[in-house]
A = this chain, B = another copy of it.
Amino acid sequence: MKTSKLFTKTTKNISKEAESKNHEFLVRAGYVDQLMAGVYTYLPLGLKVLQKIESIIREEMTAIDGQEILMPALHPAENWKKTGRWETMDDLYRFTSYYSKSEVALGGTHEEIVSPLAKKFIFSYKDLPKYVFQIQTKFRDEKRAKSGILRGREFRMKDLYSFHTDEKDLNSYYDKVIKSYEQIFKRVGLAEKTYLTFASGGTFSKFSHEFQTESTVGEDVTYICRDCKMGINKEIILTQKECPGCGKTDLEQVSTIEVANIFKLKTKFTDQFKVHYLDEKGRENSVVMGCYGIGPSRIMGTIVEVLSDEKGIVWPKEVTPYQVHLVDLNLEKDAEKVSKALEHAGLEVLWDDREESAGFKFADADLMGIPVRVVVSEKSLKAGGYEIKFRNEDKAEILDEKELVKKIKDYYVK
């Protein structure tokens, strides 16, 4: 893709609302556009990042036998009235259809939909366990939408729901999801700063779990152990003083962003919606349920918050919109040759072909955060080839075409 053909441009003009780093960099680099508070358009480069994050999540969910579905955003009020959340969930968008006069909610979560859905297909212990997930747009009437794409009124969510005969089976799948989430955070580049934390389990379980990423803009307070990478949420620090991972008691208090949560719902919703099954002896039992959320758009914002430097974004390699940022300093023919060689090797290339100064183009490359920058200039050709520099390193080197392609290929091979 040539930069001159891109729908977007980088910009220095940014609204005063840009109170967070992710909003500032993502808007300036042309990744997202704010339509209103908490509501964003994903522009071509931003959507590529989001789609890569969602593909990683999809792969990992499929690897633990999740079957993908797509539930609607429009929900009948009766489902929400049945669980009582029509009245108690403050951030549920509720309205009335003009034509049908029926009350409708906009889905902020889907327990009220997936439970009666599961009831249609689960009858016997032979039908269990089952795992379904969706990657979908959710809506929440947030009191204060803020922090860029970290807390939106409209946002992307992956929600997985599991159905089991008993708690033992739920527990074993629950542990599998923890491992799967760890793999996701590794792949999106957040593993180092992300902690598995113990949170309140409500009235049903001793604990639920969250994944919390350390960041100064985080709204949560978490007590962490850097050695075992686990922690405790503030809400339960008074009852649970030891780190569940290693037993340590001198935990460090940090600000964190909640990037995922998993919860043993047990029979809370299956009792309400009468999702029952017959066991081996023909007795009727409630299906046991778990739910597991992770937010692709929030992950994208978190990556920008925790991995950027003062010049701009630094994308981890699996989520970068393009793999190579080729900067051509008035050498179109040579740039085209190396662009073709890179694309021929299966690499995704953004080629900055604009007639701008070197300084301007380098600043844009730093802002946009593609991990590998390649410069084609009179100087580089004189030195024997192309200049390669990684976004998170200072030193650059000159390589010939073959060495260049090999070095970049090797970098992106997992």
Residues of chain A touching chain B, judged by Cβ–Cβ distance below 8 Å, are: 5-9, 11, 30, 33, 35-37, 39-44, 47, 50, 65, 67-76, 90-91, 93-100, 102, 106, 113, 117, 120-121, 130-132, 137, 139, 141-143, 153-154
Contact B74 A153 (CB under 8 A): yes
Find A95's partner among B41, B71, B95 (CB 8 Å cutoff).
Answer: B95
Find A35's partner among B44, B72, B153 (CB 8 Å cutoff).
Answer: B72
Q: A7-B132, A8-B121 are in contact. Are A113 and B41 (CB under 8 A)?
A: yes
Contact B69 A44 (CB under 8 A): yes
Chain B residue nearest in CB terms to A40:
B72
Contact A42 B67 (CB under 8 A): no
Cα–Cα distance between A65 and B7 once the two chains are bound (Å): 11
Tell me which of A5, A91, A113 has the highest count of chain B C-beta atoms within 10 A of its own C-beta: A5
Tell me which of A36, A40, A139, A141 has the highest count of chain B C-beta atoms within 10 A of its own C-beta: A36
Contact B7 A130 (CB under 8 A): yes
CB contacts (< 8 Å) of A43 on chain B: these are 69
Contact A143 B99 (CB under 8 A): yes
Chain B residue nearest in CB terms to A92:
B98
The 6 closest A-B pairs by CB, nearest first: A95-B95, A42-B70, A44-B67, A39-B72, A36-B76, A41-B71
CB contacts (< 8 Å) of A42 on chain B: these are 69-70
CB contacts (< 8 Å) of A98 on chain B: these are 90, 93-94, 141
Chain B residue nearest in CB terms to A155:
B72
Contact B47 A7 (CB under 8 A): no
Cα–Cα distance between A139 and B106 once the two chains are bound (Å): 11
Contact B69 A39 (CB under 8 A): no
Identical chains in the assembly: 2
Please list 14 pairs of residues, one from A and one from B, whose beta carbons are closer than 8 Å in the complex, sorted by A's number.
A6-B67, A7-B121, A7-B131, A35-B113, A36-B74, A41-B71, A41-B72, A47-B70, A73-B73, A74-B139, A74-B154, A90-B98, A99-B141, A99-B143
Cα–Cα distance between A102 and B39 once the two chains are bound (Å): 13
What 20 new A-B contacts, CB under 8 Å, besides A41-B113, A42-B70, A73-B154?
Answer: A6-B67, A7-B69, A7-B121, A7-B131, A30-B121, A35-B75, A36-B74, A43-B69, A44-B67, A44-B68, A44-B132, A50-B70, A74-B153, A91-B99, A93-B97, A93-B98, A94-B95, A97-B153, A100-B141, A106-B106
Contact A37 B117 (CB under 8 A): no
Q: A93-B97, A98-B141 are in contact. Are A47 and B33 (CB under 8 A)?
A: no
Contact B121 A9 (CB under 8 A): yes
Cα–Cα distance between A19 and B143 once the two chains are bound (Å): 42
Chain B residue nearest in CB terms to A144:
B99
CB contacts (< 8 Å) of A11 on chain B: these are 120
Contact B74 A117 (CB under 8 A): no
CB contacts (< 8 Å) of A70 on chain B: these are 41-42, 47, 50
Chain B residue nearest in CB terms to A136:
B137
CB contacts (< 8 Å) of A106 on chain B: these are 106
Cα–Cα distance between A40 and B74 once the two chains are bound (Å): 9
Cα–Cα distance between A132 and B30 once the two chains are bound (Å): 14
CB contacts (< 8 Å) of A121 on chain B: these are 7-9, 30
How many whole Å from A337's CB to the nearest CB in chain B?
A: 22
